[in-house]
Chains A and B, each alone.
Chain A
Amino acid sequence: MEFFAFHLMPWDRLPADFDEKYESAWTWLPNSLYDPQHGVELYNRYLDELVLAEDLGFDGVCVNEHHQNAYGTMPSPNLMGAILARQTKRVKIAVVGNALPFYNPPTRVAEEFAMIDVISGGRLIAGLVVGGGPEYYSFTINPTFAREMYHEALDLVVRAWTEPGPFEHYGEHWKLKYVNPWPRPLQQPHPPIWIPGAGSKETIDFVAARRYSYMGIPYFHIDFFRKNFEAFRQACEQHGYKASPRQLGWLCPIYVAETDEQAWAEYESHLMYFAHSLLKGLVVLPPGYTSPRSIANINKALNLFLSQVKTRADVEKGAYAIVGSPATVRDKLLEYIPSLGVGNLLGLFQLGTLPADLTRKNMTLFAQEVMPQLRQAIPAFPPIAAVPVPTYQRA
Chain B
Amino acid sequence: MPNTQFLEVAGKKTQLIVHGDGPPLVYLHSAAGEAEWGTFHERLSKKFRLYVPAHPGFSLSAGLDQIRNMDDLAWHYVDLFEQLGLSNVPIVGMSLGGWIACELLMRRPQLGSKLVLSASAGLHVPGSPIAELFVDSFDRLRPLLFLDPRLPAADELLPSSQEDPRVLLWLRAREATARVGWNPYLHNPRLIDHLRRITCPTLVIWGAQDAVIPVAHGECFAKHLPHARLEIIPQCGHMLQYEKPDAWHAAIERFVLGS
B171 and A286 form a contact (CB under 8 A): no
Across the interface, A144 reaches (CB within 8 A) one of B162, B168, B178, namely B178
B172 touching A140, Cβ below 8 Å = no
List residues of chain B with CB within 8 A of the CB of A285: 136
Assuming A140-B183, A141-B183, A143-B178, is B136 touching A293 (CB within 8 A)? no
Could you give 15 example pairs across A and B, Cβ below 8 Å?
A141-B182, A141-B183, A142-B179, A144-B175, A286-B134, A286-B178, A287-B174, A287-B177, A288-B174, A292-B171, A292-B172, A295-B171, A296-B171, A299-B136, A299-B162
Chain A min CB distance to B178 (Å)? 4
Q: How far is the CB of B121 from chain A (nearest CB, A)?
A: 15
**Is the pair B162, A296 in contact by a Cβ cutoff of 8 Å?**
yes
Bound CA–CA A137/B172 (angstroms)? 18
Contact with A along B68-108 (1 / 0, CB 8 A): 00000000000000000000000000000000000000000
Q: Does A300 contact B (CB under 8 A)?
A: yes
Question: Cβ of A179 < 8 Å from any Cβ of B?
Answer: no
- Expressed in whole angstroms, the minimum distance between the Cβ of B72 and any Cβ of chain A is 13
Bound-state Cα–Cα, A142 to B69, Å: 11
Closest B residue to A288 by CB, please name it.
Answer: B175
Q: Compute how far the CA of A13 lies from the CA of B159 in the bound complex, rounded to whole angstroms.
A: 38
**B interface residues with partner A (beta carbon < 8 Å):** 134, 136, 162, 167-168, 171-172, 174-175, 177-179, 182-183, 185
Contact of A300 among B136, B162, B185 (CB under 8 A): B162
Residues of A within 8 A of B175 (CB): 144, 287-288, 292
| CB-based nearest A residue for B31 | A287
Q: Does A309 contact B (CB under 8 A)?
A: no
For the complex of A and B, 10 pairs with smallest distance between CB atoms: A292-B171, A287-B178, A287-B174, A288-B175, A142-B182, A287-B175, A140-B183, A144-B179, A144-B178, A299-B162
CA distance A288 to B177 in the complex (A): 10
- Contact present for A296 and B182 (CB under 8 Å): no
Chain A residues near B168 (CB, 8 Å)?
A: 292-293, 296
Residues of A within 8 A of B136 (CB): 284-285, 299
A288 CB to closest chain B CB, in angstroms?
4
Closest to A286 in B: B134
Could you say which residues of chain B place their CB within 8 Å of the CB of A287?
134, 171, 174-175, 177-178, 182
Q: Is the interface of B mostly helix, strand, loop or mixed?
A: helix
Bound Cα distance A391, B118 (Å): 52
Chain A residues, Cβ within 8 Å of B172: 292
A residues neighboring B (CB under 8 Å): 137, 140-144, 284-288, 292-293, 295-296, 299-300
- CB closest chain-A residue, reference B177: A287
Bound CA–CA A176/B175 (angstroms): 28
CB distance B162 to A143 under 8 Å?
no
Would you call B167 and A142 a contact (CB within 8 A)?
no
Min CB gap B233→A, angstroms: 29
The A/B interface has a contact count, at CB < 8 Å, of 44
Q: Give Cα A200 to B178, complex, Å.
A: 21
Asked whether, in the complex, the Cβ of A140 is within 8 Å of the Cβ of B171, the reply is: no
Q: Smallest CB–CB gap between A24 and chain B, Å?
A: 11
Across the two chains, which residue of chain B brings its CB closest to A140? Answer: B183
Considering the chains assembled together, what is the distance between the CA atoms of A286 and B181 in angstroms? 13
Q: How far is the CB of A151 from chain B (nearest CB, A)?
A: 14
Please indicate the chain B residues that have their CB under 8 angstroms from the CB of A141 in the complex. Answer: 182-183
Given A287-B182, A293-B168, 8 extra CB contacts under 8 A = A140-B185, A144-B178, A288-B175, A292-B168, A292-B172, A292-B175, A296-B171, A299-B162
B162 touches A142 (CB 8 A): no
Q: Inside 8 A of A144's CB, which chain B residues have their CB?
A: 175, 178-179, 182
Q: How far is the CA of A293 from the CA of B171 in the complex (A)?
A: 8
Q: How far is the CB of A175 from chain B (nearest CB, A)?
A: 14
From residue B32, how far is it (CB to closest CB) to chain A in Å? 13
The smallest beta-carbon distance between A130 and chain B, in angstroms, is: 15
CB-CB nearest in chain A for B69 = A142
- Bound Cα distance A288, B183 (Å): 14
For the complex, give the distance between the alpha carbons of A144 and B174 in Å.
Answer: 10
Q: How far is the CA of A191 from the CA of B175 in the complex (A)?
A: 35
> Separation in Å of the A133 CB from the closest CB of chain B?
10
In the complex, what residue of chain A is closest to B167 when comparing beta carbons? A296
Tell me which residues across on chain B come within 8 A of A295, comparing CB atoms. 171
Most buried by A among B134, B171, B177, B183: B171
Residues of A with C-beta under 8 A to B167: 296
Shortest C-beta distance, A322 to chain B (Å), equals 31
Neighbouring A residues of B178 by C-beta, 8 Å: 142-144, 286-288
Distance, CA A283 to CA B185, complexed state (A): 22
B residues less than 8 Å from A299 (CB atoms): 136, 162
Contacts of A284 in B (CB 8 A): 136
Q: Complex formed: what's the CA distance from A293 to B168 in Å?
A: 7
**A288 to B178 CA separation, bound complex (whole angstroms):** 8
Please, how many angstroms separate the alpha-carbon atoms of A127 and B140 in the complex? 35
CB distance from B95 to the nearest CB of A (A): 16
Cα–Cα, bound, A143→B175 (Å) = 9
Complex Cα distance, B185 from A137, in Å, reads: 11
Q: Smallest distance from the beta carbon of A157 to chain B beta carbons, Å?
A: 23
Q: Considering only CB atoms, which chain B residue lies closest to A141 in the complex?
A: B183
Residue of B nearest to A292 (CB): B171
- Contact residues in B for A286 (Cβ distance below 8 Å): 134, 178
Given contacts A285-B136, A286-B134, A287-B171, contact A140 B182 (CB under 8 A): yes
Chain B min CB distance to A217 (Å): 18
Residues from chain A with Cβ under 8 Å of B179 in the complex: 142, 144, 288
With both beta carbons as reference points, the residue of chain A lying nearest to B170 in the complex is identified as: A292
Q: Which residue of B lies closest to A300 (CB)?
A: B162
A296: chain B residues within 8 A (beta carbon): 162, 167-168, 171
The minimal Cβ–Cβ distance linking B209 to chain A, given in whole angstroms, is 23
Using Cβ atoms and an 8 Å threshold, which residues of chain A touch B182? 140-144, 287
Return B54 CB to nearest CB of chain A, in Å. 15
Docked pose: A144 CA to B175 CA in angstroms: 6
Closest to B168 in A: A292
